[in-house]
Chain A
Amino acid sequence: MKPFTRLIVKQGCDHWKQEFAGKSLQKIAHDLISNKVKYGSYTKCSDYHGVMQIETPYFVILLGTFPCQTKEFSYEY
């Protein structure tokens, strides 16, 4: 699987598309996980089958981490 990043906004939260335009989703994901961001905290984060998914109340970020960054097939933060 090729590396990929993906930002999917929730209904009514389109402004995050502009907010994050041109920014590294890896960096945003890292900041979210380490609680270093102003745009709120994540509600769920998992690296499962080589696909990291970070959910916030406003958007979802997907990052390809194949093969998994963890030794297990399933890992939840």
Chain B
Amino acid sequence: MAILVKPYLGCNLNCKYCYEGAYRSKHEITADYDMCKVVAAIETQYSIAQKQIDLSNKQNKACKPTADIVLHGGEPLCLPKQDVETILRKSFELSGKSGIQTNGTLIDEDHIELFFKYKTNVGISHDGPGNLSAYRMSSKEADRVSQLMFDLKEKGLNISVISVVSKSNAGTFKRQMAYENWISRLYDAGINGRINPCSSEPKYDLDEQTLARVYLSLAKNFVDTGMAWHPFTDMSKRLLGESAVCVFMGCDPFHTDSATVILGDGTITNCMRTNTGDILVRDSQKMNIRDEVLQEIPQDFNGCRGCEFWYACHGGCPMSAIDNDWRNRTIHCLVYKTVFNYYNNIQRSMGMVRRVK
């Protein structure tokens, strides 16, 4: 479970597909956060998370959850450095480490010093060097950030990547090969990460057939090379009945267990992917409404009834639901079915059996 601290939702970039774009276009983004409230909320939410973890450990569940506090945004390095330090320090005091998710463009020597001081896991949102990141930044800037990741890793920082697959980095075979080559180079440098499908507008998103082909190519590449990137490892785990990334665990968009978000006024909300034009305050309890609905609704009506991979997928992320309605299954159904089928065949051929039906 992640505690995502988002004091400021502004950003120095204007990524075409950003899931916080709808909120920014409707609301004025200000930096009038209350750091005292933010820090108090971090302490409270971390305490709650720890109690849940203790309970889980007592129940001796196979999957041992952890609580990670991550400074998020917008772009968190738009914050004054003393505020960045306040949050990283508090995270470190509570958990012995800290985390940040940044676009990497503003990282300087002072930040690097803080990252070492507070044992910060640095997640960089990046779609590849050069034109592969065309929806995010200039080619030159993309090259600089891409190189920075290797440099930071070389210095000894723990670096990971969140990358969005879109037309900019997989829209043609040539781009896709360049993208896969970049991921291989990251892996060789010891940098792992997550690949998310672009779920924005048709002019940026790959069509489902192409996206399925790209994901299958990546899955085969990872199997051939032994690379362990998300969500591919998650999909394999889910087929075996193991716990994995929230996308495949069944999500209540009004109480997202996997992500607790702290805003600048101390408000607790859900994963920001579920918030669009407005931010909804987190509901006090989790309900499995979406799970129940999707199991009942035929696939022809945007549900999941009868799907052989339901137990592993649970309809995917509600943020990517058909017609942008959380009551539907994900638009990436074909993509996930393609990859699940691939891993399922491998596992069956190896005699591996899932633990939970």
Q: Are A6 and B279 in contact (CB under 8 A)?
A: no
Q: What is the total number of residues of chain A having a CB less than 8 Å from a CB of chain B?
A: 23
Residues of A contacting B92 in the complex (Cβ-Cβ under 8 angstroms): none
Q: Are A11 and B267 in contact (CB under 8 A)?
A: yes
The distance in angstroms between the C-alpha atoms of A57 and B280, with both chains bound, is: 11
The distance in angstroms between the C-alpha atoms of A62 and B325, with both chains bound, is: 13
Given contacts A11-B267, A11-B269, A48-B327, contact A4 B280 (CB under 8 A): no
Q: Are A50 and B293 in contact (CB under 8 A)?
A: yes
The distance in angstroms between the C-alpha atoms of A60 and B253, with both chains bound, is: 12
Residues of B contacting A73 in the complex (Cβ-Cβ under 8 angstroms): 297, 301
Given contacts A1-B296, A11-B267, contact A51 B289 (CB under 8 A): yes
A11's partner among B279, B287, B328 (CB-CB below 8 A) is B279
Closest residue on chain B to residue A10 by CB atoms: B278
Residues of A contacting B296 in the complex (Cβ-Cβ under 8 angstroms): 1, 49-50, 66
Given contacts A48-B327, A49-B297, contact A6 B281 (CB under 8 A): no
A31 in contact (CB, < 8 A): no
Closest residue on chain B to residue A2 by CB atoms: B292
Q: Are A66 and B293 in contact (CB under 8 A)?
A: yes
B263 in contact (CB, < 8 A): yes
Shortest beta-carbon distance, A67 to chain B, in Å?
Answer: 8
Q: Are A49 and B280 in contact (CB under 8 A)?
A: no
B283 in contact (CB, < 8 A): yes
The distance in angstroms between the C-alpha atoms of A9 and B282, with both chains bound, is: 8
Write the B313-338 contact mask toward A (1 if CB under 8 angstroms, else 0): 00000000000010110000000000
B254 in contact (CB, < 8 A): yes
- What number of A-B contacts does a CB cutoff of 8 Å give? 60
The distance in angstroms between the C-alpha atoms of A13 and B292, with both chains bound, is: 29
Residues of A contacting B269 in the complex (Cβ-Cβ under 8 angstroms): 11
Write the A1-33 contact mask toward B (1 if CB under 8 angstroms, else 0): 100101011111110000000000000000000
Segment 20-60 of A: residues with Cβ below 8 Å from B: 46, 48-51, 53, 57, 60
A10's partner among B280, B297, B302 (CB-CB below 8 A) is B280
Q: Are A8 and B281 in contact (CB under 8 A)?
A: yes
Write the B239-273 contact mask toward A (1 if CB under 8 angstroms, else 0): 00000000000000010000000010101010000
Q: Which of B's residues lie within 8 Å of A, judged by CB? A: 254, 263, 265, 267, 269, 278-281, 283, 287, 289, 292-293, 296-297, 301-303, 325, 327-328
17 contacts between A and B (CB under 8 A): A8-B281, A9-B281, A10-B278, A10-B281, A11-B265, A11-B279, A11-B280, A12-B267, A13-B281, A48-B325, A48-B327, A49-B301, A49-B328, A50-B296, A51-B289, A60-B254, A62-B289
Supplied contacts A8-B280, A64-B289, 13 more A-B pairs, CB within 8 Å: A10-B278, A10-B279, A10-B280, A11-B267, A11-B269, A48-B325, A49-B293, A49-B302, A49-B303, A49-B327, A60-B280, A62-B289, A66-B296
